[in-house]
Amino acid sequence: MKNQDDIYYIDRVLEGDVSAYAVLVSKHKNLVFSIALKILGNREDAEELAQDCFLKAYQSLKTFEKKSKFSTWLYRIVYNAAISKTRKKKLEFVPMDNYIIHNYTEDEFTAGIDEIDAEEQKVMIERAMQNLTDDESLLITLFYKGENSIEEISNITGLSMSNVKVRLHRIRKKMHEELSAMMEKRLN
């Protein structure tokens, strides 16, 4: 449904209605900016890169074949441009045993955090996200905020699907531990 909306506006742009592109920019600006920011680590650079990527996407709109979602295509442009700008290495495969995954019970955690009010929950989750590495933060943003599937994230980042899945699983557990530690601190 969401992608159908994008296609509608893309068609309008291709028919000559340039102002329709503003709708697409407005809809995707936060995620595009987030991706750029997570890779570049600087708000000014991220904003400039995000704007350039929107311009680049506009100029290449005729080459968008509509086989994938517009957002996936756009995020891939941003990801590649940001990686090129920083000359940073692309996301790498990390073997499974690099992290120690502790056991936890989901119910205990959920019950505990439910007692905390929404504002404090937001602060806690933002603090936990700050403790993630840039790569981890990027993946979690693409998955949860961008609502991209494993396959789409794989297309954007060039990681294999199984690698994306493993990494997301690991990041979730890592965040779970961070939040559990924060809650313990709060209770004590």
> Site for other proteins (CB under 8 A): which residue of 10, 73, 139, 163?
73
> Site for other proteins (CB under 8 A): which residue of 129, 131, 134, 170?
129
> Site for other proteins (CB under 8 A): which residue of 1, 62, 105, 185?
62
When asked if residue 125 is in the footprint of other proteins (CB under 8 A), the reply is yes
Q: Report the 3 state secondary structure along the chain.
A: CHHHHHHHHHHHHHCCCCCHHHHHHHHHHHHHHHHHHHHHCCHHHHHHHHHHHHHHHHHCHHHCCCCCCHHHHHHHHHHHHHHHHHCCCCCCCCCHHHCCCCCCCHHHHHHHHHCCCHHHHHHHHHHHHHCCCHHHHHHHHHHHHCCCCHHHHHHHHCCCHHHHHHHHHHHHHHHHHHHHHHHHHHHC
Which residues sit at the interface with other proteins, rule CB under 8 A? 18-19, 21-22, 25-26, 29-31, 33-34, 37, 46-47, 50-52, 54-56, 58-64, 73, 76-77, 80-81, 84, 106, 109-110, 113, 118, 121-122, 125-126, 129, 140, 143-145, 149-151, 161, 165, 168-169, 172, 175-176, 179
